[in-house]
Chain A
Amino acid sequence: MTALALTNICKSFGPVEVLKDINLTVEEGEFVVFVGPSGCGKSTLLRVIAGLEDATSGTVEIGGAQVNSVPPAKRGIAMVFQSYALYPHLSVRDNMALGLKQENQPKSVIEARVNKAVQMLDLGAYVDRRPSDLSGGQRQRVAIGRTIVREPKLFLFDEPLSNLDAALRMNTRVEIAELQRTLSATMIYVTHDQTEAMTLADKIVVLRDGRIEQVGSPMELYNNPVNQFVAGFLGSPAMNFLSKAPVSIPENGVIGIRPEYLRPVSGGRIKGRVTHVERLGGDTNLLVKTAQDEALTVRIFGQDDTRVGEAIELDFDDAKAFAFDHEQRRVI
């Protein structure tokens, strides 16, 4: 069944068009990630879905019912915010219970659901504390708990991990993925971190300047981007784009090669010099300046003893390269 359907959503703030004709459907149980550069309208789109912002035009359907004029609390959604947004004057338990109290749920139901969430998120030791007495990771778990107890049709996450440190971010990412599996919930997750997008999503929605550029599974987008923007946005290190190298390049266009498909080969078509080497243990990234003065990244698996300043010759398999025309559209 369709959990969410957006049709022709537009949103303007005064003269500024922030969302332009967004069409999207999300199936029940799907984990959908919105990615895009800062300011592209991800949060705005999420707020339109939540009902915190009215769309200028277009319709929002949740669980088959149109909800354009339904207030946020009655849309069957719950949301986790980037800044946690816990109620400072309430204990952890009351933070979680407030939404249910507002729905006039019976006390026994509230208690059961809160206890279940507390157990699931391992918050047992903190239920009577105030948010100010918790660490960032614990606060984020409380914020997630607050959404779980609502048992919503749709979970919305707005960059929930961006205030956490790297190790905690990794852990919480795994926890969220597990949570989604145990609850078999429909989730929409906003991030500008492409690693989060690739690792969590069933379906990625790439946004740019208020438009959807492409929708698909992570591997579809990685292997088959429709344009240069999507190709460059997903993948780390990012795809290399060459416009002057002595290889077949469409007129006024560029050719895109992922760093892992470039190999150092003597007699290779691309000649250059190594300007920097990043040794990550598992792989090595070589930053290369080509003879045509274009910058390239080469990803070599395993360890490599190439030194800075060495001359290098590179080549790639033409079948693995992408070609883009002068309007950045994919041609091959």
Chain B
Amino acid sequence: MSIARQNRLNTYAAHGVLILYTLIALFPVFVIIINSFKTRRAIFREPLAMPNSETFSLIGYETVLNQGDFFLYFQNSMIVTVASLFFILLFGAMAAFALAEYRFKGNLMMGLYLALGIMIPIRIGTVAILELMVQTGLVNTLWALILVYTAQGLPLAVFILSEFMRQVSDDLKNAGRIDGLSEYRIFFRLVLPLVRPAMATVAVFNMIPIWNDLWFPLILAPAEEVKTLTLGSQVFIGQFVTDWNAVLSALSLAILPVMALYVIFSRQLIRGITSGAVK
């Protein structure tokens, strides 16, 4: 068998597997979206059928938009996610730069200490965090969530970014120093643009868990005016009756903003993944 033919078969096989995986991964999302446009009866009678003129209904979306302050929840989730990502990237990159660039006593220990958080889930400390938030008066504020998520995201961010920053050429940083750039300008203007793919990777890895988190909003910020989208959607899930139309519509809507953020980061992300892979 010729090598070219073999390669072609391999390519087909690889694509086959990938397409299959994509279908499996997207199937639940697809089911959620089609069912969000159906009447309640249709959802249960034929969950996999497409909505048609008989079963089509926007009742779920109407409930979602009329009940509760859905736009506020949206806004809260967006603020928490974007602000957390911003602080994770900013502080993570700064710490990573210090660890990668400067020699000081305890550099290695500091790096290990910062990386330890990757292995210890922050939820273990929930009670202590709650006490802390009560004492500082941050309960039921978005800041409580932003601070917790920043802490949760930093270890991995520092770990990944410091690895990438070590690869940035020393000569480039030294050229900047000789030209009189401050360490801050070297960091922001020379180093950060070069590790942009790694930053996007960190952002995407952190974004989804923060957006979807139910635990901390429930514990630290359950008040109406600071509810996040995930928490807000819970009103439709009752102990005895669940308004499935509304739940499915809320979930469908919740996909949109993450999609938007993902598209923003994805170009960088793909570069990040492949640059790591081929080097």
Chain A residues at the B interface, C-beta cutoff of 8 Å = 47, 50, 52, 71-74, 77-79, 81-89, 98-99, 102-103, 146
Contacts and interface: CB of A to CB of B under 8 A. Distances in A.
Interface stretch (B53-61, B187-195, B223-231, B260-268): B187-195
B190 A77 contact: no
Contacts of A77: 178
A102 B181 CA distance: 7
Given A85-B169, A99-B179, A146-B179, 5 more contacts: A73-B180, A87-B172, A87-B176, A98-B181, A99-B178
B177 A72 contact: yes
B169 A88 contact: no
B46 interface: no
A52 B174 contact: yes
Contacts of B179: 73, 98-99, 102, 146
Given A88-B194, A89-B189, A83 B169 contact: yes
30 contacts: A50-B178, A72-B174, A72-B177, A72-B178, A73-B179, A74-B180, A79-B174, A79-B175, A81-B171, A81-B175, A83-B172, A84-B171, A85-B172, A85-B174, A85-B175, A86-B175, A87-B175, A87-B189, A87-B190, A88-B194, A89-B189, A89-B193, A98-B179, A98-B181, A99-B179, A102-B179, A102-B181, A103-B180, A146-B175, A146-B179
Contacts of B169: 83, 85
Contacts of A85: 169, 171-172, 174-175
Given A83-B169, A87-B190, A89-B193, A102 B180 contact: yes
Interface of B: 169, 171-172, 174-181, 189-190, 193-194
A102 B182 CA distance: 10
Contacts of A102: 179-181
Nearest to B193: A89
Contacts of B174: 47, 50, 52, 72, 79, 81, 85
A71 B177 CA distance: 8
A47 B179 CA distance: 14
A83 B172 CA distance: 8
B178 A79 contact: yes
A98 B185 CA distance: 12
Nearest to A14: B103
A99 B179 CA distance: 4
A79 B169 CA distance: 15
A52 B177 contact: yes
Nearest to A99: B179
